[in-house]
Amino acid sequence: MGLEGVGMGDGFGLGLGAAAVALIGRLGNRGLSMMNTYITRNYTAKLEITNSDIAYEWMLGHLASRKDFTAHYQIGTSFKKTQTGAIKKLDFNLQPTAGTHYLWEKKPGEWIPRPIKVERTRSQPTAWARQPDLSYNLSTDLLPV
């Protein structure tokens, strides 16, 4: 006696197929998660620059000059007054705002630029401080293209 007596109906076959698709999806999801963890641990580096560091102002200027960096800016206004109190000169400086931004760096000899993830965070709320303590976390994420 073979499997002829079992009598698999259409419902059983559909259920078995759906379970197989779900299992393949779950294994694929788990594999991608493990690959992401491996790449993050072995191929990324983090650099933190606080606002008390002497390179902080240079970093702000460099990132603000990059057209591929961000579309969200914060403006810093400075002015010079004359002896009478009138404003003589007014300067506007653009600075990147807090949040996650991406730079695209192309190394010499490579065709495809690599993304650099830049995260600017505030250590305290701006409502409580006049000069918010901002820092950058830079990590070079190797994203598949």
Structural domain count, the chain: 2
Residues 30 and 64 in one domain: no
Residues 30 and 77 in one domain: no
| Main-chain phi, psi angles of 141, to 5 degrees | -95, 125
- What type of residue is 128? W
Residues 25 and 50 in one domain: no
Please write the tens of the pLDDT for every residue from 102-128.
777 777 888 887 777 777 777 665 544
Contact status, residue 101 vs residue 62, Cβ threshold 8 Å? no
Is the confidence at residue 143, as pLDDT, over 80?
no
Give, rounded to a whole angstrom, the gap between the first and last alpha carbons of the chain: 55
- Does 73 map to a domain? yes
Residues 64 and 117 in one domain: yes
- Does 3 map to a domain? no
Residues 89 and 58 in one domain: yes
**This prediction's pTM:** 0.41
**Structural domain for 99, as ranges:** 44-139
Residues 66 and 32 in one domain: no
- Does 24 map to a domain? yes
CA distance 6 to 124: 68
- Does 52 map to a domain? yes
- Does 58 map to a domain? yes
Is the confidence at residue 8, as pLDDT, over 70?
no
- CA angle 39–42–48, rounded 5-degree value: 100
Residues 93 and 79 in one domain: yes
Please write the tens of the pLDDT for every residue from 84-93.
888 888 787 7
Is the confidence at residue 77, as pLDDT, over 60?
yes
Residues 34 and 48 in one domain: no
Per-residue model confidence (pLDDT) at position 128 = 42
Residues 20 and 51 in one domain: no
Higher-pLDDT residue of 135 and 17 is 17
- What type of residue is 106? K
Residues 58 and 103 in one domain: yes
Is the confidence at residue 144, as pLDDT, over 50?
no
What CA–CA distances, in Å, run from 40 to 5, 34, 65, 145? 53, 10, 28, 16
Residues 19 and 54 in one domain: no
Higher-pLDDT residue of 37 and 95 is 37
- Does 129 map to a domain? yes
Alpha helices by DSSP H, 2-134: 10-43, 56-65
- SS3 of residue 80 by DSSP: strand
